Structure 1
Amino acid sequence: MAQRAAIVTGASSGIGLAIARMLGEEGYGITLAARRPEKLAAAAQELREAGYDVQDVAGPLSEEDAVKAVVAAHEQRYGRLDVLVNNAGVGIGAAVADIETKRLDMQLDVNLRAPILFYRECARLLRAAGSEHRNALVVNTSSISGKRGQAWLSIYSATKAAVIGFTEAMNKELNADGIKSTALCPAFVDTAMTDFVKGHVQPSDMIRPEDISEAVRMLLKLSPACIVPEIIFARAGEDL
């Protein structure tokens, strides 16, 4: 059994898969979670073929029972949790007068409610890891739009700003238990989520998923005394 273990949500592609691959390289046992079973299973198989210890648990992470199922499956297999990566997210653009309630609720549920539920369900395991080595880590994928709201992405921006605020609150609440939290705030990353803008911004000019995973690798190696509340990833040439 792996000496350290992690849960990664939104792990079937993009940033989540890159972080999961890095955790595998670092020797973590990993539970991968995402909504689409076939896509998640393919990602898990790719990591297994690379020699990493992974399991995949598919489900709609906007639902409480799905969150509980991921955490229960993780504990049953690995018995511990050192790193939680709340990466699953959805962004749906609309002018404020055209916001559909269903799409509003989807973004609130996936981007904000699910991370909160994962904290709640994982608190006991994270505290156990924090008690052991004082370096349990929660990584929350926010966005540069959580730092400065974007027109037509108002709900997405609001949820990502809330993630930053919740991360700050969790550091104040949980750090005494040896648990750190970091919000990742990237500009456009070359993933499927940014396909809508690739007619205006070339993929080669975007941040790479591996840029994000390497930042998380750095967080794993910091001393217990060092907390990084957030990391902003700006694209070259953008205003900072």
Structure 2
Amino acid sequence: MPERAALVTGGSSGIGFDIARALGEDGYALTISARKPDKLEEAARTLRDAGLEVHAVAANMAEEEDIKRVAREHRERYGRLDVLVNNAGVGIAGPIEQTDTKRLDIQLDVNLRAVYLMTRECIPLLKQAGAEHRRAHIINTASIAGKIPQPGLAAYSAAKAGVVALTQATIRELSNEGVRATALCPGFVATPMTEWIKEHVPESEMIQTSDIVAAVRFLLSCSPNCIVPEIQFVRPGDMP
């Protein structure tokens, strides 16, 4: 059994990949999950080539059985869980009146329902870690859209607002068990997911994944007496 272990969904690229790499560098054995097997295995190979311990599990976060399988494989592989990073997400832009139910459902399922289900499946292991060192942590990638809802992103904004609320409820349920939770609420981050906006917001002017990684490392360095419910990341001039 490793001394520390972490599970990162949406771990094949962008924010999730960089968080996973940082956790691996900091001594965590890793499970990473993403929907596309080829892309996930490429990410895992990159991490393994850097000397990190990585288990990759391809899964669709819209499917409950896939979520259960990821949690189960992590438990069977490592036997412990100190950090859960619910990072998988999807955004589909469009006005409410033109959004069909399928596009609504996939955003609610991946961005909110999956966070709830993965958290539920991982709570027993997180409680065990919390009883051991009182530093178990759930990190949920929300969005600044969950704090400042955006036109054209109504479903995404609503789901991410739900993640913020879920995070706060989780704190109230689990903090006495040594399990903390934080919602990360970034604006545009320079990742493949924001390719659609780069004509209007240059990548060089976006929040960087290194900013998110620095925040995660800060959270994990806090004493057991310190809970940070959320962190907002905004660009200069973007404050409401």
TM-score range, shorter chain: over 0.9
Query: 1:189-229: CA deviations, max 9, x gaps?
Result: 00111111101000000011111011001111110000000
Q: Name the amino acid aligned to 1:195.
A: E
Residue 194 of structure 2 aligns to a residue in which SS? Answer: helix
User: After superposition, where does 1:5-154 map in structure 2 within 5 Å?
Assistant: 5-154=5-154
Distance (whole Å) between structure 2 residues aligned to residue 10 and residue 126 of structure 1: 19
RMSD: 0.7
Distance (whole Å) between structure 2 residues aligned to residue 232 and residue 223 of structure 1: 21
Residues 90 and 111 of structure 1 are in contact (CA less than 8 Å); yes or no, is this contact kept in structure 2? yes
Residues 22 and 214 of structure 1 are in contact (CA less than 8 Å); yes or no, is this contact kept in structure 2? no
Residue 185 of structure 2 aligns to a residue in which SS? Answer: strand
Residue 138 of structure 2 aligns to a residue in which SS? Answer: strand
Distance (whole Å) between structure 1 residues aligned to residue 124 and residue 158 of structure 2: 29
Query: 1:25-48: CA deviations, max 9, x gaps?
Result: 110000000100000000000000
Q: Percent identity?
A: 56
Query: 1:153-183: CA deviations, max 9, x gaps?
Result: 0000000000000000000011011000000
Distance (whole Å) between structure 2 residues aligned to residue 210 and residue 130 of structure 1: 27
**Offset at 1:237?**
2.9
Provide structure 1 residue ranges, at least 5 long, that are not aligned to the other structure.
none
**Offset at 1:239?**
2.1
Distance (whole Å) between structure 1 residues aligned to residue 195 and residue 59 of structure 2: 24
Distance (whole Å) between structure 1 residues aligned to residue 95 and residue 237 of structure 2: 27
Distance (whole Å) between structure 2 residues aligned to residue 59 and residue 123 of structure 1: 19
**Offset at 1:238?**
2.1
Residue 231 of structure 2 aligns to a residue in which SS? Answer: strand
Residue 3 of structure 1 aligns to a residue in which SS? Answer: coil
Q: TM-score, normalised by structure 2?
A: 0.99
**Offset at 1:65?**
0.6
Q: Name the amino acid aligned to 2:58.
A: A
- Counting matched residue pairs gives 240
Q: Which residue of structure 1 aligns with residue 180 of structure 2?
A: 180
Q: Name the amino acid aligned to 2:144.
A: I
Q: Name the amino acid aligned to 1:36.
A: K
Distance (whole Å) between structure 1 residues aligned to residue 61 and residue 76 of structure 2: 19
Q: Is 1:230 aligned with 2:226?
A: no
Q: Which residue of structure 2 aligns with residue 197 of structure 1?
A: 197
Distance (whole Å) between structure 2 residues aligned to residue 114 and residue 126 of structure 1: 17
Q: Name the amino acid aligned to 1:61.
A: M
Provide structure 2 residue ranges, at least 5 long, that are not aligned to the other structure.
none
Query: 1:117-154: CA deviations, max 9, x gaps?
Result: 01110010000000000110000000000001000000
Q: Name the amino acid aligned to 1:94.
A: G
Q: Name the amino acid aligned to 1:82.
A: D
Residue 183 of structure 2 aligns to a residue in which SS? Answer: strand
Distance (whole Å) between structure 1 residues aligned to residue 66 and residue 239 of structure 2: 39
Distance (whole Å) between structure 2 residues aligned to residue 93 and residue 164 of structure 1: 20
Distance (whole Å) between structure 2 residues aligned to residue 61 and residue 145 of structure 1: 21
Q: TM-score, normalised by structure 1?
A: 0.99
**Offset at 1:236?**
2.3
**Offset at 1:2?**
2.2
